[in-house]
Amino acid sequence: MSDDSHEHQSFETRAIHAGNTADPLTGAVVPPIYQVSTYKQDGVGGLRGGYEYSRSANPTRTALEENLAALEGGVRGLAFASGLAAEDCLLRTLLAPGDHVVIPNDAYGGTFRLFAKVVSRWGVEWSVADTSDADSIRAALTPKTKVIWVETPSNPLLGITDIAMVADIARTAGAKLVVDNTFASPYLQQPLALGADVVVHSLTKYMGGHSDVVGGALVTADAALGEELAYHQNAMGAVAGPFDSWIVLRGIKTLAVRMDRHAENAAKIVEVLKRHPKVTKVLYPGLPEHPGHEIAAKQMRNFGGMISFQVEGGEEAAVAVCNRAKLFTLGESLGGVESLIEHPGRMTHASVVGSALEVPADLIRLSVGIENADDLVADLTQALG
């Protein structure tokens, strides 16, 4: 299904067409869901189209993987059963016992748990750094550092890291730079063009976009690393299934229009939160006073649909706001068309309590959906009381 002609097309066009060639058998304009495990061979080893077993490769997954590579400007895309499955495959490919990783002081709790509770058991060392600060990263490096991990914007504090700056540090240190691009999506930010080696996604979020699938992805700038990861993807086996691949591919077609609306709605909500007497701090990279604003404006097309804020009255007040919201659904995850609200300290980031990544107890995180902005503002206003 490969088609190299998408290289010079704009993002919106690639989102719809890359990997999405018409079905060779019927002309169906959408790649079919090849819900199949194995493929008839024309004599031993006589593969039609290169497919032999769906863990190794499946045409619907191939369509998604080609689309992902095209959207991130990479050479190889790989789709996994979840974002964490993608991260696990990447870490076990890049790291060996004795190696060292620099991880950010603000990141998805599950990513931290993977380092702290799983990867560390295999003799991999890790240090925490403020990745927005070059000195903090340099201080965390050791002669054995093989990976610098960046999440920007970060989850849940919306911290911004200068990707090109960290790419320079990584190159000098002989380490790979991995960027989790889940919050921005490739529509808003292109880490490989800024010098990253690998992009990680939770496809569960903006890429799928409708809170109806769990998936993950890796995209590499380098063909050899892509090949090595593909080998491990098959050897480890946590692949995206055909239906999940299909539904993510479908979601991606509207990524650009959704992201525009997410960001537009978020900007309106930020204005209201900033003026609200019960809100003590608003964390959003679109705000001029945000410490990463200038870098975000330089490396992102727009500031995205995620907002975090702190409220007067501490943890119980924050929990009460979450419980009072009606149109904002109380739930984990993010990036769907429907707005979500959550309390990171007790929900998504409960696994980092007591660590360097612990989040403020009075913090609330919003995933702003694409509903009518006035309806969203009315709900938040009543929830704040």
Task: List the catalytic residues.
Answer: 55, 108, 180, 205
The size of the interface with ligand PLP (CB under 6 A), counted in residues, is 15
Query: How near is the Cβ of 161 to ligand PLP at its closest, in Å?
Result: 13
Point out which span in 52-60, 81-89, 190-198, 233-241 binds ligand PLP (CB under 6 A): 81-89
Identified binder of ligand PLP from the candidate list 65, 180, 244, 379, rule CB under 6 A: 180
Our CB check for ligand PLP shows the closer of 82 and 299 to be: 82
367 lines the binding site for ligand PLP (CB under 6 A): no
Query: How near is the Cβ of 41 to ligand PLP at its closest, in Å?
Result: 34
For residues 307 and 285, give the distance between their C-alpha atoms in angstroms, rounded to a whole number. 9
For residues 301 and 298, give the distance between their C-alpha atoms in angstroms, rounded to a whole number. 8
181 lines the binding site for ligand PLP (CB under 6 A): no
Our CB check for ligand PLP shows the closer of 62 and 204 to be: 204
What are the structure tokens assigned to 235, written together? 């050897």
In total, the chain counts a number of residues equal to: 385
Our CB check for ligand PLP shows the closer of 131 and 182 to be: 182
241 lines the binding site for ligand PLP (CB under 6 A): no
Query: How near is the Cβ of 130 to ligand PLP at its closest, in Å?
Result: 17
- Could you tell me if 95 and 124 are in contact, meaning their C-beta atoms sit under 8 angstroms apart? yes
For residues 35 and 229, give the distance between their C-alpha atoms in angstroms, rounded to a whole number. 24
Identified binder of ligand PLP from the candidate list 151, 244, 342, 362, rule CB under 6 A: 151
Sign of CA dihedral 355, 359, 360, 361: negative
379 lines the binding site for ligand PLP (CB under 6 A): no
Q: In degrees rounded to 5, what are phi and psi of residue 224?
A: -65, -40
Name which of residues 324 to 353 contact ligand PLP (CB under 6 A): none
Q: Which residues pair with 281 in a beta bridge?
A: 310
Show the beta-strand stretches assigned E in the chain: 76-80, 100-104, 125-129, 145-151, 176-180, 198-202, 216-220, 279-283, 306-311, 329-330, 340-342, 363-367
32 lines the binding site for ligand PLP (CB under 6 A): no
204 lines the binding site for ligand PLP (CB under 6 A): yes
Point out which span in 46-54, 92-100, 179-187, 227-235 binds ligand PLP (CB under 6 A): 179-187
Our CB check for ligand PLP shows the closer of 66 and 151 to be: 151
Query: How near is the Cβ of 204 to ligand PLP at its closest, in Å?
Result: 4
149 lines the binding site for ligand PLP (CB under 6 A): no
The end-to-end CA distance of the chain, in Å, is 54
Our CB check for ligand PLP shows the closer of 112 and 328 to be: 112
Sign of CA dihedral 30, 36, 38, 40: negative
Residue 108 has a CB neighbour count (10 Å cut-off) of 26
> Considering only CA atoms, which of 60, 74, 62, 18 is closest in space to residue 255?
18
Point out which span in 76-84, 122-130, 283-291, 315-323 binds ligand PLP (CB under 6 A): 76-84
- Could you tell me if 334 and 108 are in contact, meaning their C-beta atoms sit under 8 angstroms apart? no
Query: How near is the Cβ of 102 to ligand PLP at its closest, in Å?
Result: 17
Distance of CA 44 to the CA centre of its chain: 41
347: left (phi over 0), alpha (psi -120 to 50) or beta: alpha
DSSP 8-state symbol, 290: S
State the amino acid at position 87 in one-letter form.
Answer: E
Per CB under 6 A, residues contacting ligand PLP are 82-84, 108, 110-111, 151, 155, 180, 182-183, 202, 204, 214, 216
